[in-house]
Amino acid sequence: MNNDDLLRYSRHLLLDEIDIAGQEKLLAARVLIIGVGGLGSPAALYLASAGVGQLTLCDDDQVELSNLQRQIAHDESRLGQAKAESAAARLRLINSRIKICARTERLQDDSLLQAVAEHDLVLDCTDNLNTRFAINAACHAHKKPLVSGAAIRWDGQISVFNHAAADSACYRCLYHPDAEQSLTCSESGVVAPLVGIVGAMQALEAIKLIVGTGESLTNRLLLLDGKYLQWREIRLVRDPHCPVCSI
């Protein structure tokens, strides 16, 4: 780190749990963020400002007016632009010293497996159940930790699926194909700040995992009732019959 870095990240360096060694881990980290909408926007903004060395933003959608109610990485000047490129431009204004890659295609099959393999950690910020299953399977295949968040209506949730840990439950242990779980914000609505809360917590969990401090949400699912601002925690157990992680 140079003098500018020492000043930029000075509030991290004051923390015993991060300090110079932890900040250097952040600067060396490669994080894949799949989906740069409501959840991916705050997650990406915080990870860029925190100094994660490489952020790869993946989204095959374009910025629409209805996105601006909650997707804070974008603005009116970006309408019609690819979300990945819009968010990348915003992040470069925040931190020009990190590497930011924008991928505007939908990652699937071999491209998803390769992208996961090239990164240290993955954030699932999507809103499609089948996509979430595919991301989970790819992370399991390459033993990469997955920080998963979701938000709909007034309800949010977040967990970590640490595929490198032998006793970690995976996303498929927790969820099975179900029509109700496949609902999206465009169908059911979502209150704007809720995605900010969950996305920021995904960034926090990512930083903890990279630095190696605290207790992650591995085998814990946090549920937020935004209407009454109540948190509930559920302990997760690996499913011995899971079609992904029990194989």
Give the distance from CA 98 to its chain's centroid: 18
Q: How many helices (H) and strands (E) does the chain have?
A: 10, 8
Closest among 72, 78, 68 to 198, alpha carbons compared: 72
pLDDT at 184: 67
The CATH number fitting domain 3-235, selected from 3.40.50.970, 3.90.920.10, 3.30.413.10, 3.40.50.720: 3.40.50.720
Cα(142)–Cα(110) distance, integer angstroms = 12
181 pLDDT band, cuts 50/70/90, is low
Please tell me whether residue 225 adopts helix, strand or coil conformation. Answer: strand
Cα(28)–Cα(36) distance, integer angstroms = 22
Give residues with Cβ within 8 angstroms of 247, minimum separation 6.
none
Share of the chain above pLDDT 90, in %: 90
Cα(223)–Cα(50) distance, integer angstroms = 25
pTM for this predicted structure: 0.95
Cα dist. 118→56, 102, 236 in Å?
Answer: 10, 14, 28
